[in-house]
């Protein structure tokens, strides 16, 4: 691939795992070039259903990219880019667009994110005198980049399909690599919605503009659905059907698109266990949390769908668990009402509170690594950088938020007061949409594209198309 920006942008550098991005200066980046080891033709389908031939890059993550940075820095500058990137593994962001304060990290029109940067060559030019009291030198560096991507300031637009779907209960992006040839390499948006008292499926190939639905009923369980959450694990889609009773079911991605679903119910729950609030998926397990007057956690083995109830381990003292996120099979974080959270690590549970307020409603959690988590509440956005021992409030909000992250840097939060973006793992936030929403129920990012964001709210489906 090649990304070229001839104009100078504002450069921010982070040199450590928890080091904040610091303003460095104005520089331009040359083409980011990557060696392509193999290119093979494949069949795919465009948004209009026409089968076309494109190229697929094989093993495109094997070799790192290379690029160059060039800019002018004041002669009096004591630290150079060479000193900032001593051992490699640093992150650089180059922000473009008008900005009244060059060191403002959050305001930009577009940003180029370079991950795992190291220098292969570095040079400084001879001083160039501008005035008797001022001179500059040109700084140039050749760099190796493990990963690069562009981030634009998105605009959320309401999308309606020809089917008349205005509100989905749940949404997820399916991994199309497991689908049959005509659908490979397409982003497949899977949604659930109510129709005549049954839960039904819809899917979209064009970011939610047009939806395909089925005349026959998909979900065998009747009864209007209050909430539905969808998670995708490889070629499997897991979803919740929560009403007076609750179910968790599974189906192959391919069978939905080919209109031949073979649905299996993996959990039936009633009473307290019918109040499923959220699910998280890891390689071998599905983690189900919720509660009504008491919290619960159920772990489902994805090999044989056996279940294990872990109520005693996640007892939030008479209040519910609201959201769960899992880093892997052995690291799961749950948040709930009254400021409660729990950590499941290597077979042990640890219960604690953030320390916000005894009545704080923790609405969502994202685990970026074992030390770095982001939690949303009705009293603010919080991060921990030491695995839940200490917490820092990084943004004030006045209502419950939903969270979604592309990686450990780029993420979004949304509530009834607006949509917010972070470019540094939740350390700072920037409001990108000030509209008042009636109620945000789901926020989903495409893990292949940091500019694809989907939001479900009371009166519609919104997408950054």
Each domain of the chain, given as residue ranges in start order, spans 5-152, 157-463
pLDDT for residue 40 is more than 90: no
Distance, CA of 11 to CA of 22 (rounded, Å): 8
pLDDT given at position 345: 93
pTM for the model stands at 0.87
Which pLDDT band holds residue 222 (cuts at 50, 70, 90)? low
Distance, CA of 203 to CA of 214 (rounded, Å): 10
Topology given in CATH for the domain delimited by 5-152: Pnp Oxidase; Chain A (2.30.110)
346-375: pLDDT as tens digits: 988 898 999 999 889 999 999 999 999 999
- Nearest CA-CA partner of 340 in 303, 298, 305, 375: 375
311-328: average pLDDT: 80
pLDDT given at position 58: 41
418-437: average pLDDT: 93
Q: Which CATH architecture has domain 157-463?
A: 7 Propeller (2.130)
pLDDT for residue 378 is more than 60: yes
Distance, CA of 316 to CA of 253 (rounded, Å): 35
Task: Please state, in angstroms and as integers, the Cα–Cα distance from residue 46 to each residue in 91, 185, 213, 293, 421, following that order.
Answer: 35, 10, 18, 49, 30
pLDDT given at position 223: 59
- Nearest CA-CA partner of 14 in 78, 105, 76: 105
pLDDT given at position 219: 55
pLDDT given at position 52: 39
64-92: pLDDT as tens digits: 788 888 887 655 555 677 777 765 668 99
28-40: average pLDDT: 64
174-212: pLDDT as tens digits: 877 777 655 655 678 888 877 776 777 888 887 777 888
Q: CA quadruple 263, 160, 276, 445: dihedral positive or negative?
A: positive
Which residues have a Cβ under 8 Å from the Cβ of 358 and sit 6 or more positions away? 338, 339
pLDDT for residue 129 is more than 60: yes
Structure tokens belonging to residue 428: 């700072």
99-128: average pLDDT: 85
């Amino acid at each position: 691939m090649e990304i070229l920006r001839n104009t100078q942008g504002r450069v921010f550098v982070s040199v450590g795992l928890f080091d904040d991005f610091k303003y460095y200066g104005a520089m331009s980046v040359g083409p980011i070039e990557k060696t392509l080891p193999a290119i093979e033709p494949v069949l795919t389908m465009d948004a209009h259903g026409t089968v076309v031939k494109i190229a697929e890059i094989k093993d495109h993550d094997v070799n790192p990219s290379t690029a160059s940075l060039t800019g002018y820095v004041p002669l009096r500058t004591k630290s150079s880019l060479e000193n900032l990137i001593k051992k490699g593994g640093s992150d650089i962001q180059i922000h473009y667009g008008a900005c009244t304060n060059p060191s403002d990290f959050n305001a930009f029109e577009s940003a180029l994110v370079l991950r795992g940067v190291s220098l292969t060559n570095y040079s400084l030019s001879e001083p160039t005198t501008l005035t008797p009291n001022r001179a500059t030198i040109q700084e140039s560096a050749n760099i190796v980049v493990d990963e690069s991507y562009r981030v634009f300031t998105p605009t959320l637009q309401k999308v309606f399909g020809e089917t008349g779907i205005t509100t989905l209960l749940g949404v997820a992006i399916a991994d199309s690599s497991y689908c049959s040839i005509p659908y490979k390499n397409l982003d497949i948006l899977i949604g659930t919605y109510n129709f005549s008292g049954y839960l039904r499926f819809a899917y979209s190939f064009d970011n939610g503009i047009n939806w395909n639905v089925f005349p026959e009923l998909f979900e065998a369980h009747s009864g209007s659905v209050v909430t539905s959450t969808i998670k995708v694990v490889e070629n499997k889609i897991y979803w919740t059907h929560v009403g007076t009773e609750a179910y968790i079911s599974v189906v192959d991605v391919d069978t939905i698109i080919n209109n031949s679903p073979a649905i299996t119910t993996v959990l039936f729950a009633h009473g307290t266990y019918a109040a499923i609030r959220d699910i998280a998926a890891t390689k071998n397990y599905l983690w189900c949390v919720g509660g009504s007057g008491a919290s619960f956690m159920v772990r489902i083995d994805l090999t044989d769908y056996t279940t294990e109830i872990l109520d005693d381990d996640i007892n939030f003292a008479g209040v519910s668990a609201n959201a769960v996120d899992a880093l892997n099979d052995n690291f799961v974080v749950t948040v709930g009402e009254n400021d409660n959270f729990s950590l499941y690590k290597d077979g042990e549970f640890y219960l604690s509170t953030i320390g916000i307020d005894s009545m704080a409603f923790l609405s969502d959690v994202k685990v970026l690594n074992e030390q770095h988590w982001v939690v949303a509440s009705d009293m603010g956005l919080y991060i921990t950088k030491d695995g839940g021992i200490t917490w820092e409030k990084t943004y004030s909000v006045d209502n419950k938020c939903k969270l979604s992250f592309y990686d450990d840097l780029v993420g979004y939060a949304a509530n009834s007061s607006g949509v917010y973006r972070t470019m540094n793992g939740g350390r700072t936030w920037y409001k990108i949409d000030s509209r008042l929403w009636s109620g945000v129920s789901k926020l989903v990012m495409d893990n292949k594209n940091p500019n694809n964001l989907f939001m479900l709210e009371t009166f519609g489906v919104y997408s950054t198309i």
